[in-house]
Structure 1
Amino acid sequence: MRHRKISHLGIIVTFLILIAGRLMYAEDHSKFHDGNIVRNQDHIKEHLQEEVNINTTANMTKEELEFHYFEQHDLDNDTKLDGLEILAAISHMMPFEPKYPETKTAQQIRDEKIDFYAEQTEYILKENDYNNDGYLSYSEYALARRRAERGA
C-alpha cells in the first residue's frame, strides 16, 4: 500500500513538472506574497486551532504571522516548501476562475485549472528559489516577502 501511495505521488509530481515545463511564466497573481493573505489572522487561526491558543494570533508580530503561514504549508515538516506544498498553499487561498466557462467543456476547464496552478507554482519557484534546489526555504520566502513589500 505504501508503495502505491509513493507511486501516485511520483506520478502527480512528474505530471506537474511536465505541465509547468511547457508553460510560459506569468505575472505573479498567485497572492503567495500578499501580506494581507500571509498575515491573515483568521486563516492562521483556522490552521493553528489544535496547536496553540487561538487568541495568541492577535499578539503576534507580522513576522510571526508570516512564519506560521509558512509553517502551516510545510506539510512534511522539512522546513522548506516543495512544488506540491506551494500548489496547495496557492490553491487554498486563491480559487481558480476559468475564463469564459460557458464556452468550455468540463475537461477544458479542468485542464485550464491545472495549467493555471502549475504555472503559478513554477513562477513562484523560479522567482524565489535563490539557490535553485527546487524548494523554497523560509529564508527565501522571507526575502521574497520583503521584496514584494518594497514593490520590487
Structure 2
Amino acid sequence: MATMTAAQQRAQAKVEYNAFVAACPSRKLLDRISDKWVTLILAALGSDGAHQPGADCAGEPRAMRYSELARLLAGISQKMLTQTLRSLERDGLVTRTVVPTVPVTVSYELTELGLSLYEMMRGLKAWAEVHMDDVLAHRETYDTRAG
C-alpha cells in the first residue's frame, strides 16, 4: 500500500465529504453556520445594517465594531456574540482587527470565505422575512386542524 502525503490525505478526505454520512465533519460545519446568530452576524457584516425588514440587503460589506453589532442584533447576549464571533474567526469567515486607541477599538469584517457564505445566507434571511406571514398562516391552520 502506497504512503500518502498529508496534502494527498486532505485531498482524498475532501473528495469524500458527504453530509449524509454521520461521521462527516461537514455536519458540524452545517450545524455551526445554520445558527441564527451566525446568519444575522453575516447579514449585518455583509450590508450596511441600516436596511428595513423585507428590503434588499444590498449594502456594501463593511467592518463593524463589536458595539455596533451588539446594538444591531437585538436579543443577543454579550457572551453569545463573543462566542459566535470567535467561532466565525476560527473558521476563517471573519477577521478581527484591534486598533490601539483609548479605549481599544475592535472591529470585525467578512473574509472572502465569509462573503461567499454571506451571499447564500442573504437569500435565506430575505426568504424568511418575505414568507413569514405565509408560514404563520400555515402554522395556524395546522394547529387548528391538529388540536
Higher helix share: 1
RCO greater where, 1 or 2, for CA within 8 Å and sep 6 or more? 1
TM-score normalised to structure 2 length: 0.27
Higher strand share: 2
TM-score normalised to structure 1 length: 0.27
Q: State which structure, 1 or 2, has the greater radius of gyration over its C-alpha atoms.
A: 2
